[in-house]
Structure formats: C-alpha cells, structure tokens
Structure 1
C-alpha cells in the first residue's frame, strides 16, 4: 500500500481528516504546477521520450511494447523509463533508467518531447503544446467500472485527478469501440482516440513457443500445461477470495485435459505483498514476481480469474478462461460492473464445486463461438499491429511537430 493509498483509506474513516488530506492534495497541485512552470524554462529535448507504467512499479504493460517498437524502428531517440528503486528487472541496454521520484519525474517530464504512461499523472503536472502525452491505460473493456463511472464510490481526490489528466492528455490508445465509449465517459475525455488495439496484445499474434520456453525456464519446470490464476485488485487487501482447493483443481485439470499441470498464481500489482500469504507447493507456483503479465497469458493453456480485464486480453485469441468469483455480490455492490457476468462467454462459478463442474463440462466449440460474438459486440480493433501504429504516431509528432 502506498502512502497516498494509505491516506485515502484513513480519510474514509474521518470526515475532518478527509478534508485536511483533500486540502493538502489541492495545495500540492498548485505547488506542482508552479515548479513545472519553472522547469519548463529549460529546453525540451525533441528526441527524448519518457515512459512510465503504474507509477514506476514495473517495466511492462502497454508502454513497454511501444518503447520496444520505437527502438526497433531505429530512430535516434533517448528512451527514458521512470522506475522505482526497488524494481529488479532485466531492462534493455538502450533504456535510460531513472529512479521514480518527485524531482526526477518533474525534470524528465519537463524536458522531454513525449510522455507515455499507463496511469495518471500527478495533479498539477504541466505539459506545454510542444509536448505529446500518450495515455495507454492499463485495462481493457473490463468488467469492473472505472474512474468517474464509479460515481459516489470514487474518492474526492480521483474526481479531480481523472478530469485533470483528460485535460492534459493528447491521445488515448483504445482496443475497441466499447473501450473508447468507456474512456470518453469515465475519464471525461473528448479528444483524440487511437483505436488500434492494445500494444500489449500484439504478442498473441506471434508464435507462442519461444515465450512458453522462456516461462518454463524461469520457473524451472519441464514442458507441461499451465493454468494461470490471476485475481483482480482488492482495495481492502482481503485474501478471503483465495479459498480454491488447489489440490482438487489440479486433479480436475489432469482428468479433463491429461498431461502434467502447473498452477501459476499471479496477484494484481497493488496486492503483491499478499502473495507471501499463499501456500505454494511443487505444482502451485508464485508468479507474482514474473515481470511481464502478457507472457504468462501467452504461456497459459487455461486462465482462471474473477473480474480482471486480463480475461479480455487472454481471449484476443479464443483461449480457455474460467471465472471464479466467490465474492460476486459484494464486489458488484462495492464497485459496480459494466457487464452482467451471464453476458460473458466464460463459465462462472462462485463455489469450488461449481468451478470443478464447469471444468468437467466445458465445451470448447461452443465457447469459441461465444468469444467471437463478444469481439463483434465490443467492436474489437486488435490486429497485432497496435504498438507499431502508436510508435508511428509518436515518430510523426517528434519529426513534424503538432499539426
């Protein structure tokens, strides 16, 4: 839990404390803007592009694939990544790594031509017309409501932060007509949308064998089948949802599909500290530290999740996905959903017995047809070339300026 998350949580329990924190938030925004304006007196490096993913938590997601594609196009750009000090990952040599932090962020953003981010910029961040802000977001046409669509459930801070980011963003990357509609409404956004697909989903259009071998090697396992369990973020950090009988799940997978099976458990980045509370064994492995989620999705033969938008990434090609949502009623009441679970092609279970019944009775042919209908319904834009198109958009801006 970050300091900001902690303050938000504390402020929910005290009206006075909430007002004090909110006032501090607004004041910090004015200070940020003042300092940004001073730093904008420095020259902008037209060939510098600054990337950030989830507040510096990882080198990954949509920004990573755009970053890699830009490098592949062999332009003489300075590619900067803002990353937390404790992030231990293999970063390409061509990337200039900068510690994510108040002054570093402010300086790098003020002196770069392009920003690419999967999350929100701090309130008060200033961007001139000589700069381009590409917002990729980190979800898809997911189940759970986001941003302003949360209504009264959205904290006061975020009711300011989302419209602020929509004001300074120049373009948002979208993977479907439905996603575009959500972004316009939930972010209060009325500018350019690049409906080209999600850069992180281009990977599903490539040969999966190289990535599968990479995943097998990382976990030190022989070639086998993989079920990836990837539950979504819990704002209360409650682990009650993790009550799956893993031994029986393993048995049902072997009975249904045959062969050897491993269960990889991947928690949401905001719940990483909870990973240590899960019991692992020879076939239940901790995948929360694996850096690139999309590679796990490519390697997996089956996905098990609840409300995470990764299910929609996973079926870019119609791969088998099951939903296990024991807290369905509570989650819908707390947050609200864009979809009724019955509208989706994924077999839904709220108990262990229902989950195992769904595995036993799974009809792949019927499932594939349902996935195709969903893609048509949302107006999917996935073609495997999203990163390339976003990279070209950035190159056009860097070399020609704002039109």
Structure 2
C-alpha cells in the first residue's frame, strides 16, 4: 500500500470510530461515482428517479477537485472525496451507492444499506477473481472487504449475474433490474443529441471513437496509438450512410486529463464530456476496441465497428479476454484503418440487426428503460424502513 493511501485509510478508520456515535440519518444517501469523478454512471439515473417520488431525500455526492459542480441538481449536496466531511457522511448515511469495488468507505454500521451498481455490464476483459494474476494483493484485499459489506448488486443480464457470482467474491443478493444508466437508450433522444452537438459545436451526425485504457503503454504511447484519420473515416461513413459526420474521440478516464488531441473540422476531443451514456445516445456510429460501451450502444443501434491496431500486443501484455472480439461477437473487427474502412463499406444493416438480437437473447439482456425506476423504488422502500 502506498504511503498516501495508508494515511488516508488510517484517517478513515480514526474518524469512522468517532462518528459512529452519531445516529444514522434514516433519510440520507451518500454516493460515489468512480472515486469522485462526478455526476454520472448508474448512480446519476437512480437519484433522478428517487427525487421524483421522494424530493426530500438527503443526497450527498462525493467529488474530486476536477468536477464541474454546475452539472449537479441543486438539491444534491457536494462533499470533497476522502475529506473528513466525506467520512462523516458515509458513517451516518442510511444508504451507500457506489460503482467501484476498491473505494474504501470504512466499516459499515448496523442499519446501513450498501448497493453496488458496478460500472460495467457485459465486458470483454476478465475482472476481479478471474484476472487475479494481474491484480495487486492490495486490490484483492480491498475488493474482498468491499464485497463483505455489500447488501445488493444490480445486474442487467444472466451473463453479468453469473460474472458477479463467480468472480466478485460476493455471495449476497443480486437483482436483475437492468442498468439504470441504460434507460437513456429507451427515451426520446432529441434533447440529448442537441445538447451534445451544441457542446461540441458540430452539425450533422456523430461517430464516437472510444478506445479503452492500456496498462502496458505509457500515456504518450496511448495517445499515439489512438490517432485516427478522422477525414477518411467520416468520408467512408458518408458514402455508406449518406450522412455528414464528425468523429469524436473519448479517451478512458485514466488518461482523459492528459489526452491532448489536435482537433480539426473532422475530429473533436470528447474526453472531458461528463456523461458517456449521453455521448452514446447522441452518436449514430460507435468505433471501439474492447470497451463495454459496445453492449450499451447495441441497445439502440448495431452500427458498431471494432478496431484495435495493437490487438496482438494487447493480448500478450494486458488482461486476458473473457469475450473474444473476433469470434464471440456479431461485429466486424479490424486491426488496421484500411480494414476498418473496408468493414464500414461492407456493413449490412439488416443482417447486423438480426445478429445483435440473437446475441442479446443469448446473454439474457434485461434492459428495457425501467431499470432506474426499479432501483429507485427499492431504495425508497429501504429509506421507509422496509427490507429490500
């Protein structure tokens, strides 16, 4: 454990003991989205539904220093991540909502309820226990400790539920509610599309390129790897679909702040946009490598193209794949821009729609636009004192 992390944990344990003498606020929820990243993920959509039926619920959201506070609803109270105030809120809240497994929150008290929404659904990579050889002893210890405290995990499919049970060191309750963040794909999308286009100052349609993080490469090497000829891509898409496109690249959160991209009329940097789901909704086409965004985007469209120039190096140096992108999915897979352009040209909409439907049935996908309501209902029930 690093020295900084060690002292943070000591501070949590010390103040957690002090605050345990303060009664639990039965109407309070405290939320973390990916270590204080901001207003997004499954927690965002759960809270918005909860406010509709329970506008007086006390919602605390922990944030880091880079977050745009203006994006939060006015009734959400913001607290600095890992601050003494944050420790107080976690120590005295009735409900915890989180979407990562190694965020230390101290020891849960009797009467507190912890729901883990996780930050992915179906995914390419092996995670948690299944990739144990790539994880640090510290992470494994943190994840096991977190799992012991969880009261409920939510899932959107048979596949995800099995993955939780097999690999998350978790024996508690799992509900296949669907993923709240995916409700957005079943709503009227015009307002979201207009919002995203206004943010990036683009006309026409959007093709989103969302490559995943590489542990085996430096940030500079990843920036170089993710370079793509936006002009050629949008030109080929125009030929295929008859639409004018702008290509938006969204880097993984781990490198987003260091991902400097030279923009032009064909290419925009989408790494700072706060809500990935809104980007997916606003996009007409998705290009990615091993991102679980594939399994979200296919709820609205089959216009998905897999592209990884470093596929062989990735397999040798990164985590082992649980889903083989070349064999297990209905989408085309390219390791060069030339092949990607050819895949766009050969795309068959009708055939791909059929294949995606078969894949969804095979995985047991439960997303239907009502996930947020289901989770909000059960959490409101918990706040009222009924067991979930």
User: Do both share a fold (TM > 0.5)?
Assistant: yes
Residue of structure 1 equivalent to 2:59: 79
Aligned pair count reads 381
TM-score, length basis structure 1? 0.90
Taking structure 1 as reference, are residues 33 and 229 closer, same or farther at Cα in structure 2, changes over 3 Å only?
Answer: same
Checking the alignment, whether the CA contact within 8 Å between 2:180 and 2:372 is kept in structure 1 is yes
Instruction: Tell whether 2:236 aligns with 1:252.
Output: yes
Instruction: Tell whether 2:30 aligns with 1:50.
Output: yes
3-state SS in 1 of match to 2:352:
helix
Instruction: Tell whether 2:183 aligns with 1:202.
Output: yes
Counterparts in 2 of 1:4-403, with a 5 A limit? 21=1, 29=9, 32-88=12-68, 89-123=70-104, 125-222=106-203, 224-235=204-215, 236=217, 237=219, 238-239=221-222, 240-276=224-260, 278-333=261-316, 334-341=318-325, 342-402=327-387
3-state SS in 1 of match to 2:35:
helix
Name the CA distance, whole Å, in 2 between partners of 1:160 and 1:87.
29
For residue 34 of structure 1, report the CA deviation from its aligned partner: 4.6
For residue 122 of structure 1, report the CA deviation from its aligned partner: 3.8
Checking the alignment, whether the CA contact within 8 Å between 1:241 and 1:325 is kept in structure 2 is no
Name the CA distance, whole Å, in 2 between partners of 1:402 and 1:147.
29
Please give the per-residue CA displacement for 1:232-251, whole angstroms capped at 9, x wherever unaligned.
12223331431322221122
Name the CA distance, whole Å, in 2 between partners of 1:275 and 1:23.
28
3-state SS in 2 of match to 1:394:
helix
Taking structure 1 as reference, are residues 99 and 354 closer, same or farther at Cα in structure 2, changes over 3 Å only?
Answer: same
Name the CA distance, whole Å, in 1 between partners of 2:289 and 2:165.
25
3-state SS in 2 of match to 1:270:
coil
Checking the alignment, whether the CA contact within 8 Å between 1:130 and 1:401 is kept in structure 2 is no
TM-score, length basis structure 2? 0.93
Checking the alignment, whether the CA contact within 8 Å between 1:33 and 1:124 is kept in structure 2 is no
For residue 26 of structure 1, report the CA deviation from its aligned partner: 7.1
3-state SS in 1 of match to 2:29:
strand
Query: Which deviates further from its counterpart, 159-168 or 265-274?
Result: 265-274
3-state SS in 2 of match to 1:70:
helix
For residue 22 of structure 1, report the CA deviation from its aligned partner: 6.7
Checking the alignment, whether the CA contact within 8 Å between 1:143 and 1:308 is kept in structure 2 is yes
Aligned-residue Cα RMSD (Å) equals 1.9
Checking the alignment, whether the CA contact within 8 Å between 2:102 and 2:143 is kept in structure 1 is no
